Amino acid sequence: MSLHYNGPTFTLVVNPSAGRGRARKLLPKITSALVAGLPQVNLRVIQAATWQEARLRCIAAVEQARPPQPDGPRDSLLVMGGDGMMHLGLNAAAGTQVPLGLIPAGSGNDFCRGVDVPTSPLAAVRTIIEGKVRRIDLMSATGRLVDGAEQRWVGSIVSTGFDGRVNYRTNRASFSMGGLVYAWTALAELSRFEPLPYRLIIDGVAREQTAMLIAVGNAGWFGGGMQGCPNADVTDGLLDLTVVNPVSRATFLRLLPSMYTGAFIKDPAVELLRAKEVVVDGDGLYAMADGEELGDVPVTLRAVSDMLSLYSPAGQ
C-alpha cells in the first residue's frame, strides 16, 4: 500500500534538563522559530524523560524516516540539549541519508563547535531552516563498551588520559557551575595526577609510552570549549591524535588555559599525529567519548568517511 506524502516530518528530541534547565526554557522559542521558518514541515517535539528514552526516540525517528522527495526538505532528526544529546543523535543517524540538525542548549556544545554549527540555539535553528546539508566523517569505536555495546560512533574526541579522568569526574560532580565545573575538576585531578602508560597501535605500528593525555579526535573540541585536536577536519578521512608527553604538574597547569585557544600545541611537549586507525590500551585508562562514558580499554578507533548528513552553514 502506497503512503500519501503530505510534507516532511522533522522530529525534535529534547533533553529538557540540559544546561541546568536552559533547554526547557528555550523550547517554546525554538519550536516557534521552526514552525515559522519551515511552514511545509510537520514538526514533532519529544521531551525525553531519560537518556534511554532519548536514545530510542532518536533511533525511531531515523527508522521511520521516509525516502527523500525531490526539491524539498527531507524527513529529519533534530536534537536539542548538550553534547550527550548530540552523541545520541549522530549515533542514530550515522550511515543513513537522514539529516541531523543540532540545537545546542548545554554547557559545553563541543560537537557543534567542531562541525561549525552555531552555538547560539536560535542561530542553529536558522541553519536548519536554511536547509544546507553536508556529509561528514565519524569515528568508529569498538571494544568492551558500556551497556554491552560492541560499536559506537563518535563525533568529537575520545579521551583516555588526564582529560578522560577529568571528564569522568565532571560527569559525577555533585554541584553545578556550568562550564566552570570542568576547570575546577581539572585542578582537583591535577593535584595527584601522574603520567599514564599507553600501549598504542597507530595504523599497524606499535608504540608504547607514558603521557599526560592522548586525545583522538574526529572533530577538535572537548571539555566545554577546549581545542583538544585543533587541526581536526571532519571531511579528511583521518583521525587526529594529540599527545601531551610527560611534564611536571606546574608545566601542565600552565598549558591548560591555552587549550581553550589551541596555542598549547606550540609547546615542545605536544606531538600531533594523524592516522586512519588507532588502538588505545594501557593500565589505568578508561575511555570517554563526546563527554560520555565509552568503556574500558583496549578500544579500537577508526575514521570512517561520509557517514553523517548534517545541517550546516558549510553545507554542500
Q: What is the CATH number of the domain that holds 262?
A: 2.60.200.40
- Residues in the chain, total: 316
Report the C-alpha gap between 233 and 218 in whole angstroms: 7
Whether residues 201 and 122 fall in one domain: no
Domain encompassing residue 35: 9-131
Per-residue pLDDT, averaged over 85-111, amounts to 96
Q: What are 217's strand-pairing partners?
A: 157, 240
User: Does a structural domain hold residue 156?
Assistant: yes
User: Does a structural domain hold residue 252?
Assistant: yes
- Say what the pTM is: 0.91
Cell numbers placing 261: 585557544
User: What residues contact 244, with CB distance under 8 A and at least 6 apart?
Assistant: 161, 162, 211, 212, 213, 214, 252, 255, 264, 269, 270
The CATH number that applies at residue 13 is 3.40.50.10330
Whether residues 109 and 214 fall in one domain: no
User: Does a structural domain hold residue 312?
Assistant: no
Cell numbers placing 107: 554547557
What are the angstrom distances between the C-alpha of 253 and each of 89, 186, 193, 211?
Answer: 34, 9, 11, 15
User: Which range, of 10-24, 166-180, 256-270, averages the lowest pLDDT?
Assistant: 166-180
Domain boundary (131, 159, 174) is at: 131
User: Does a structural domain hold residue 1?
Assistant: no
Whether residues 127 and 153 fall in one domain: no
Instruction: Identify whether the C-beta of residue 52 lies closer than 8 Å to the C-beta of residue 131.
Output: no
User: Does a structural domain hold residue 65?
Assistant: yes
Per-state percent for the chain, helix, strand, coil, to nearest 5: 30, 35, 35
Closest listed residue to residue 278, CA positions, set 215, 230, 232: 215
pLDDT in tens, 245-299: 999 999 999 998 999 999 999 999 999 999 999 999 999 899 999 989 999 999 9
**Dihedral (C-alpha) 121, 124, 128, 132: value to the nearest 10 degrees?**
180
Domain boundary (131, 155, 184) is at: 131
pLDDT of the residue at 165? 79
Whether residues 182 and 54 fall in one domain: no
Percent of the chain surpassing pLDDT 90: 77
Whether residues 163 and 228 fall in one domain: yes
Whether residues 294 and 262 fall in one domain: yes
CA atoms within 13 A on the CB side of 215: 32
How many domains does the chain contain in total? Answer: 2
Instruction: Identify whether the C-beta of residue 21 lies closer than 8 Å to the C-beta of residue 81.
Output: no
Per-residue pLDDT, averaged over 81-101, amounts to 97
Domain boundary (108, 131, 154) is at: 131
Whether residues 105 and 202 fall in one domain: no
pLDDT of the residue at 147? 83
Report the C-alpha gap between 213 and 198 in whole angstroms: 9
Whether residues 164 and 48 fall in one domain: no
User: Does a structural domain hold residue 2?
Assistant: no
The yes-or-no verdict on residue 189 having pLDDT over 80 is no
Whether residues 59 and 97 fall in one domain: yes
pLDDT of the residue at 183? 65
Whether residues 102 and 32 fall in one domain: yes
pLDDT of the residue at 2? 34
Q: What are 111's strand-pairing partners?
A: none
User: Does a structural domain hold residue 3?
Assistant: no
Whether residues 152 and 80 fall in one domain: no
Whether residues 102 and 179 fall in one domain: no
User: Does a structural domain hold residue 310?
Assistant: no
pLDDT of the residue at 169? 65
User: Which range, of 4-8, 301-305, 309-313, averages the lowest pLDDT?
Assistant: 4-8
In which element (H, E) is residue 101 found?
strand 100-104
